[in-house]
Amino acid sequence: MKLTLLGTGDAVGTPKIGCHCPACEDARLGGKSQRLRFSILVESDKGKILIDTSPDLRQQFLRQNLSLIDGVIWTHGHYDHYSGFGEFYRVQRKVDVYGIPETLDYINQYVSFLEPRYHYLKLYESFELIGLQFTLFKVDHPPVEVPIGVIIREKDTKVVITGDTGPEIPEASLELMKDPDLLIADAIVPPHIRIKKHMNSEEATALAEKLNAKEVVLTHLSHLFRPHNIESIFLPLGYDGQIFEL
């Protein structure tokens, strides 16, 4: 199993339009603070799956020399997690998309012209794609009613992607998330800031400890962190194009 962080930014990305903070200036100079919006590529020897379709999907595909994929899993209906799906226009039609009914029905209002093939899933029930086992679990991301995270398993290897979430993750989900080899955790802001619908970096690293994660990487990062080369000395910040092979 191979995972690539195609985009590690929050809804506005870094650099933020009109901002000249240290992280945004580092991003403009080509540093690792430059962050496209959230999307993850999951690969096996049997295919490729996207977790969410970033508004920056075209740029991400060109960077990674990608063309066709085998499916998309959507975590929730916020625009920075699905709106790039339109980039499949004249590239790939009838893409297989997976998610809970509330998410798929909402997103369908905007992408139906591409005629995706919908696969409605239930929380906490495993399913197989590209030879890997996936499970969706509920997280905490108000006002979204049923936001989800994703667990991926290959034999004894386990990856947990929290999706967008605050710290109040349901106990049923926490139980399922335990002991991951890799935790990819939402951590939108540094520890001195609190945002109800997201974790900050302190809450995300505390979650990693609680789950007994062997490795954690923080994503969905805002420009409020210090430049990546400084902040990454102290925190396990992800960066665009980062690869994990498990």
Sheet holding 182-186, edge to edge: 127-129, 132-138, 148-154, 157-161, 182-186, 216-219
User: What mean pLDDT, rounded, does the chain reach?
Assistant: 97
Angle (CA) 29-219-53 rounded to 5° is 90
Burial of 112 (0-12, 13-18, 19+ CB in 10 A): exposed
What tens digit of pLDDT does each residue of 55-64 get? Answer: 999 999 999 9
Burial of 97 (0-12, 13-18, 19+ CB in 10 A): buried
Rounded to the nearest angstrom, the gap between the alpha carbon of residue 15 and the centroid of all alpha carbons in its chain is 19
Write the pLDDT tens digit of every residue in 57-85: 999 999 999 989 999 999 999 999 999 99
Beta-carbon contacts of 146 under 8 Å, excluding residues fewer than 6 positions away, are: 76, 100, 102, 103, 123, 138
Distance CA(115)–CA(127), nearest Å, equals: 22
What's this model's pTM, rounded to 2 decimal places?
0.96
pLDDT at residue number 217 = 98
SS3 of residue 37 by DSSP: strand
Position of tokens 């665009």? 240
- Measured in residues, the chain has a length of 246
Q: What is the pLDDT of residues 163-215, one digit of tens each?
A: 999 999 999 999 999 999 999 999 999 999 999 899 999 999 999 999 999 99
With b meaning 16 or more CB within 10 Å and e meaning fewer, what string describes 42-56? bbbeeebbbbbbbbb
> What per-residue confidence (pLDDT) applies to 196?
86
Domains and CATH numbers, the chain: 2-245 (3.60.15.10)
